[in-house]
Amino acid sequence: MKTLFSAFLCLTLLALTSSKGSEKNFCITVTADSSLCIPSQYVYLHYLRYNECYIEDSALLSPQDKTVHLYGFVPEQEKVSLLFEKQGPGKVDIVATPGDSISIHINDADWQNVVMKKVAGSPATNEEADYFNRRDSLLQQRFGLLEKMTVYQTDSSYQVLTAEIKEIEAKLRRNEIQSLKNTTYPYIAWLRAVLLSVNDYGEDSVKKMRAEVISRFPLYKKMWRLKPDRKRCPPGSEESRQNLARLSAIRAKKRVLKNQKKESMPVSLDMQNELQVTGRYALWNIEVSDTNDVTRQLPIQTEKYVFVNFWATWCVPCLLNLKFIDQLPEKYGEKLLIYNISLDNNKKKWKNTIQTLNPKIYNLSGINSQGELYKSIERLHIETVPANYLIGPDGKILFVDISKKKLVHVLDSIFNL
């Protein structure tokens, strides 16, 4: 009954706002558990379309108001997000269609950085939630096997794990193609098509599948982004930049509150054991030093995509990579954070090389004042350079030792370029 009443209330208010000339064309009713309402906090409705960031609405959750209504406008079916100011999930993604009246319940179990869950009033969101959860489960299985590969050293165990990983990757591709071909929702079809990897399917197959999607949804305006001859989007407006800065400030404040809460908690046995993990996927709390030999700790979970490049002055491919990496900020700007970390034991030679090459990217060293690798880098067991990582906004490792070609393809897909 409460859900039906909320939906009726949203539709009524939408009609009233429309009669006043407002452009709001969908409503989201958010109900939160008591724990998310103490202390009171704002929840923001926002979305990114091309390079424009829109903050549509905000409402205050409190012990007295555990249910709030947020109103927004989308020109066509689009993914929108909810951002909680102080605690709760990092963001909640919803697929909104003009005319939708959506109801969602956020509870204590929704602790993830990105939440995609079933709702009332948006079948598109429910379909995407099913896909998201299947994909997330497979990715967790894959990550677990990759962690095992840092432990098992025999050829036979390595081959078994490699075969299992390939099977999971095949399931991920099947899941992706099934969603692409069977969905009746234009945003979902567009998103699947945008993220198709040439490395997985081949250039001709990707072009063919994208052309099929365009023909199925010819009226969906974002489909032009799938065309080979597409033009780059113009940079965002000043209002968009202000909105992005505002959301970033809210996320930063939320991280501070979260860290303060963690610091007040005792370290559990599981956390103590976690600190002993080693291998290529043990990437967190990386210590480095700058050219003034000042030690600092690099943040990995930054709400941005992060590219970490390990190199050395004696490595010719590394030096060639530096020239390539120097070009990335020109294309991706502040969306991508880059760390260049040298593993040279001879820090003087490293400093001289930097001075000679004069790279645009700020360079750091993984060697401490005693001429040894920092423990946080030593535990990575990096045996050859160049070595790199692409990390998501939630701090999770997306790729290890990704090639230059694939890196550009992945980033272009992520940033809709």
pLDDT digits (tens, 9 = 90+) for 363-394: 899 998 888 898 889 888 888 899 999 988 87
Distance CA 102, CA 366 (A): 49
Distance CA 386, CA 239 (A): 40
Distance CA 124, CA 77 (A): 9
Q: Are 88 and 105 in contact (CB under 8 A)?
A: no
- H helices of 294-338, in order, are 316-332
> What pLDDT score was predicted for residue 103?
97
In this model, does residue 224 exceed pLDDT 80? yes
**Distance from the Cα of residue 333 to its chain's centroid:** 16
Residue with tokens 């305006």: 221
In this model, does residue 74 exceed pLDDT 90? yes
* Greatest mean pLDDT range, 69-73, 265-269, 309-313: 69-73
> What pLDDT score was predicted for residue 18?
39
Distance CA 256, CA 253 (A): 5
> pLDDT-derived band of residue 292, with 50, 70 and 90 as boundaries?
confident
Question: What are 44's two structure tokens?
Answer: 């923001």
> What pLDDT score was predicted for residue 248?
87
In this model, does residue 321 exceed pLDDT 60? yes
For 201, 388, 397, the CA distances from 275, given in Å and listed in that order, are 38, 21, 17
In total, the chain counts a number of residues equal to: 417
Distance CA 266, CA 163 (A): 40
Give the chain's domains with CATH numbers. Answer: 2-121 (2.60.40.1120), 275-414 (3.40.30.10)
Query: What end-to-end distance do the CA atoms of the chain give, in Å?
Result: 45
- Tens digit of pLDDT for each residue in 81-110? 999 999 988 899 999 999 999 999 999 888
DSSP conformation class of 222 = G
Mean pLDDT, the chain, integer: 84
Q: Are 208 and 180 in contact (CB under 8 A)?
A: no
In this model, does residue 178 exceed pLDDT 90? yes
The better pLDDT of the pair 244, 359 is held by 244
Distance CA 407, CA 321 (A): 12
For 184, 410, 417, the CA distances from 228, given in Å and listed in that order, are 23, 16, 11
Pairing label, strands 336-342, 26-32: unpaired
> What pLDDT score was predicted for residue 188?
96
